[in-house]
């Protein structure tokens, strides 16, 4: 098996000692070359390692694998599963069963995925050593980037990174998002000095649990060091735009602090104050400059104006995040948008080896050491995904899954992973398309997440949840002898933060008009009915704006159908789309809106699963 780059210091991937950057870059490229060249052998070895070390676990014994570690037997015997299939085992672990159910190594914590099941976040078991694997992938990113944009070691990155709330399972394991787990780990906190992970935000500002204080202090530090900043970013595009919006709201206060070298009293976390004070010095000249820029009527190009040496924006704009590309282009005067990696709570998958390509051309090379990857072929006809909802059960269907090195150029697949932490043939739910190869390893375009209708930030709402939310809200209209005869939805990202818009056509048989407050209640009922990731985005992260209902005049949905038929849809097969994205359709709907209403307050949300709190 090709050797991973040598660890350094605390083992955080490719550390840099004594500024030997070239050496680090060379080792990263050698590693990528090795594992992509020998992708098949590496994958077989990964599977064998996972099955050998977990031969005693209950899950594999249940399927009578009997210690066999070859791919053929594994594929014949072990079923392809969804989260729901694994839920009973996951619940046992969450409730405190410490026996080796999925993995022989102790489950160190649960990573709470933004995918949901029964309205709650999915819980992904993980083990300590996975942190090393994640670190390794991170350590490959900058050597790749440096090939295309040299000199990044001569300045800093202004990244808006945040931790989110944590909860404990009834059995006492931590449950938190994967990035919170990573930022709190020694791999991140105690990373050795490395020009590639030299950020404007001190660790304390990133680790501050109060999102206002965290954002304020990170922006303040980023502004104070504006000339040193060579790249800016956040994990997802939505998070970066939120930071710009925050700046729009708070630049007066930020400038006041920069002018006087003082820190606003709302920032009361002692460790944050201490860390910011190390950077903040009175700088009236800088404050004047920022003030003048922010006062200008247009914020077009604000990034390049305030951080003039910025070479690119590092944010994910693939998948649903592509809806934010125009806004980012506006704020940055068209700086390159760079998508560096593809990862999830289940497993970190791979990286983009051509990071300066256009967002529409981004493809990710899966790194064969991260997990054992399989691929379920998908046929999407006319943009509709046709993969079976349930796991394939019979042997023939099992065999349909292909290995990493056997995928075909241009074909779409659903990703299936077997991880070191104890997921076996687990359907991730992402649809990928093979766009090319790096040596023997395929490169995938991210196509979409299966069954996601609406998404603003990390929320992923499917049609079923939407239908249920509309039904709950529509019941509220019965008292007026009214009903929702048709509906569709739209993720409106023209507002910051973006918000869900529901277009409702109403059938009214009663004589009493419906008061606006009833529609506002309907907005809130829908929000209360949506999953916990949505409600967290609304109530805690403030990354999603209030849900809006737009009432459209009678006959609007007939017009929508007429439009679809004029575009070639078949009248026999026509179904009202429950989510729309296409601009002419949205224009048609908007032109027939008679009134609109917003949710008057945030829906309820508590950290941790509902059932743990009751």
Interface positions with ligand AMP (CB under 6 A): 113-115, 178, 316, 318-319, 339, 342-345, 428, 430, 446, 449, 458
Taking the complex as a whole, the smallest distance from the CB of residue 338 to ligand AMP amounts, in Å, to 11
Closer Cβ to ligand AMP, 146 or 458, answer by number = 458
Taking the complex as a whole, the smallest distance from the CB of residue 580 to ligand AMP amounts, in Å, to 21
The DSSP H or E segment spanning 290 is helix 284-295
Given CA atoms 529, 534, 537, 540 in this order, what sign does their dihedral have? positive
CA-nearest of 101, 225, 229 to 173 is: 101
CA-nearest of 58, 199, 112, 42 to 607 is: 112
| Tokens, residue 189 | 């906190």
Q: Are 69 and 424 in contact (CB under 8 A)?
A: no
CB-based burial, 524-555: b 16+ in 10 Å, e otherwise: bbbbbbbbbbbbbbbbebbbbbbbbbbbbeee
Closer Cβ to ligand AMP, 306 or 530, answer by number = 530
Closer Cβ to ligand AMP, 371 or 522, answer by number = 371
Taking the complex as a whole, the smallest distance from the CB of residue 123 to ligand AMP amounts, in Å, to 11
Tell me how far apart the terminal alpha carbons of the chain are, to the nearest angstrom: 49
The DSSP result for 26-66, as a single string, is HHHHHHHHHHHHTHHHHHHHHHHHHHHHTTT-HHHHHTT-T
Give me the residue label for tokens 């939120």. Answer: 242
Taking the complex as a whole, the smallest distance from the CB of residue 316 to ligand AMP amounts, in Å, to 4
Rounded distance between C-alpha atoms, residue 392 and residue 399, angstroms: 10
Closer Cβ to ligand AMP, 115 or 422, answer by number = 115
Closer Cβ to ligand AMP, 428 or 523, answer by number = 428
CA-nearest of 96, 95, 91, 107 to 57 is: 107
Taking the complex as a whole, the smallest distance from the CB of residue 350 to ligand AMP amounts, in Å, to 9
Taking the complex as a whole, the smallest distance from the CB of residue 529 to ligand AMP amounts, in Å, to 21
Rounded distance between C-alpha atoms, residue 72 and residue 68, angstroms: 10
Closer Cβ to ligand AMP, 34 or 430, answer by number = 430
Taking the complex as a whole, the smallest distance from the CB of residue 18 to ligand AMP amounts, in Å, to 33
CB-hemisphere CA count at 13 Å for 460?
A: 20
CB atoms closer than 10 angstroms to residue 340: 22
Give me the residue label for tokens 């991210």. Answer: 446
Taking the complex as a whole, the smallest distance from the CB of residue 501 to ligand AMP amounts, in Å, to 23
Rounded distance between C-alpha atoms, residue 129 and residue 405, angstroms: 26
Closer Cβ to ligand AMP, 211 or 458, answer by number = 458
| Tokens, residue 474 | 């529509």
Q: Are 552 and 589 in contact (CB under 8 A)?
A: yes
Taking the complex as a whole, the smallest distance from the CB of residue 370 to ligand AMP amounts, in Å, to 13
| Tokens, residue 470 | 């509309």
Closer Cβ to ligand AMP, 74 or 426, answer by number = 426
Taking the complex as a whole, the smallest distance from the CB of residue 52 to ligand AMP amounts, in Å, to 27
Q: Are 156 and 200 in contact (CB under 8 A)?
A: yes
Closer Cβ to ligand AMP, 242 or 460, answer by number = 460
Closer Cβ to ligand AMP, 211 or 344, answer by number = 344
Taking the complex as a whole, the smallest distance from the CB of residue 285 to ligand AMP amounts, in Å, to 39
CB-hemisphere CA count at 13 Å for 44?
A: 9
Taking the complex as a whole, the smallest distance from the CB of residue 448 to ligand AMP amounts, in Å, to 8
Helix 284-295 with 237-260: angle, nearest 10 deg: 130
CA-nearest of 324, 322, 393 to 79 is: 393
Angle (CA) 512 518 521, round 5°? 165
Closer Cβ to ligand AMP, 204 or 459, answer by number = 459
Taking the complex as a whole, the smallest distance from the CB of residue 206 to ligand AMP amounts, in Å, to 18
Closer Cβ to ligand AMP, 34 or 465, answer by number = 465
Closer Cβ to ligand AMP, 84 or 300, answer by number = 84
CB-hemisphere CA count at 13 Å for 181?
A: 26
């Amino acid at each position: 098996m090709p050797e991973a780059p040598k660890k350094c210091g605390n083992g955080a991937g490719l550390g840099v000692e004594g500024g030997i950057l070239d050496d680090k870059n060379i080792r990263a490229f050698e590693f990528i070359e090795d594992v992509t060249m020998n992708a098949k052998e590496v994958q077989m070895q990964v599977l064998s390692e996972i099955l050998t070390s977990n031969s005693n676990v209950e899950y594999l014994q249940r399927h009578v694998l009997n210690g066999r570690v070859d791919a053929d037997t594994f594929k014949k015997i072990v079923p392809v599963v969804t989260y729901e299939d694994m839920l009973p085992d996951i619940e046992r672990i969450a409730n405190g069963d410490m026996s080796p159910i999925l993995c022989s190594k102790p489950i160190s914590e649960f990573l709470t995925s933004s995918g949901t099941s029964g309205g709650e976040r999915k819980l992904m078991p993980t083990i300590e050593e996975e942190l090393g694997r994640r670190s390794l992938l991170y350590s490959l990113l900058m050597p790749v980037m440096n090939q295309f944009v040299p000199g990044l070691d001569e300045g800093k990155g202004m990244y808006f990174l945040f931790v989110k709330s944590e909860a404990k399972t009834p059995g006492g394991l931590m449950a938190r998002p994967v990035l919170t787990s990573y930022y709190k780990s020694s791999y991140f906190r105690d990373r050795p000095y490395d020009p590639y992970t030299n950020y404007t935000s001190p660790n304390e500002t990133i680790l501050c649990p109060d999102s206002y204080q965290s954002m304020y202090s990170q922006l303040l530090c980023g502004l104070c060091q504006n000339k040193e900043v060579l790249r800016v970013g956040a994990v997802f595009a939505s998070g970066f735009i939120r930071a710009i919006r925050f700046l729009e709201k708070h630049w007066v206060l930020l400038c006041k602090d920069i002018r006087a070298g003082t820190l606003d009293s709302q920032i009361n976390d002692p460790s944050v104050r201490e860390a910011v004070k190390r950077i903040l010095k009175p700088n009236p000249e800088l404050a004047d400059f920022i003030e003048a820029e922010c006062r200008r009527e247009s914020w077009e190009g604000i990034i390049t104006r305030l951080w003039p040496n910025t070479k690119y924006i590092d944010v994910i704009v693939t998948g649903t995040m592509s809806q934010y590309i125009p806004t980012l282009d506006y704020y940055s005067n068209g700086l390159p948008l760079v998508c560096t990696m593809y990862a999830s709570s289940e497993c970190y998958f791979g990286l983009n080896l051509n990071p300066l390509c256009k967002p529409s051309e981004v493809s990710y090379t899966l790194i064969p050491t991260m997990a054992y990857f399989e691929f379920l072929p998908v046929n999407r006809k006319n943009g509709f995904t046709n993969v079976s909802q349930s796991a394939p059960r019979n042997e023939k269907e099992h065999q349909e899954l292909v290995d990493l090195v056997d995928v075909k150029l241009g074909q779409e697949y659903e990703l299936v992973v077997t991880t070191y932490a104890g997921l076996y043939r687990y359907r991730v739910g992402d649809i990928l398309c093979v766009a090319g190869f790096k040596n023997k390893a395929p490169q995938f375009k991210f196509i979409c997440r299966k069954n996601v209708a609406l998404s603003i930030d990390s929320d992923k709402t499917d049609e079923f949840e939407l239908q249920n939310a509309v039904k709950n809200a529509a019941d509220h209209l019965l008292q007026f002898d009214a009903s929702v005869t048709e509906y569709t939805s739209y993720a409106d990202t023209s507002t910051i933060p973006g918000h869900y818009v529901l277009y409702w056509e109403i059938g009214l048989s009663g004589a009493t008009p419906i008061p606006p407050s009833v529609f506002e209640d309907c907005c809130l009922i829908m929000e209360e009915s949506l999953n916990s990731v949505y409600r967290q985005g609304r109530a805690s992260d403030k990354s999603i704006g209030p849900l809006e209902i737009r009432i459209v005049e009678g006959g609007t949905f007939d017009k929508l159908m007429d439009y679809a038929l004029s575009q070639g849809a078949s009248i026999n097969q026509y179904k009202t789309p429950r989510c729309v994205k296409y601009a002419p359709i949205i224009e048609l709907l908007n032109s027939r809106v008679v009134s609109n209403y917003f949710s008057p307050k945030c829906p309820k949300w508590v950290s941790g699963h509902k059932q743990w709190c009751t």
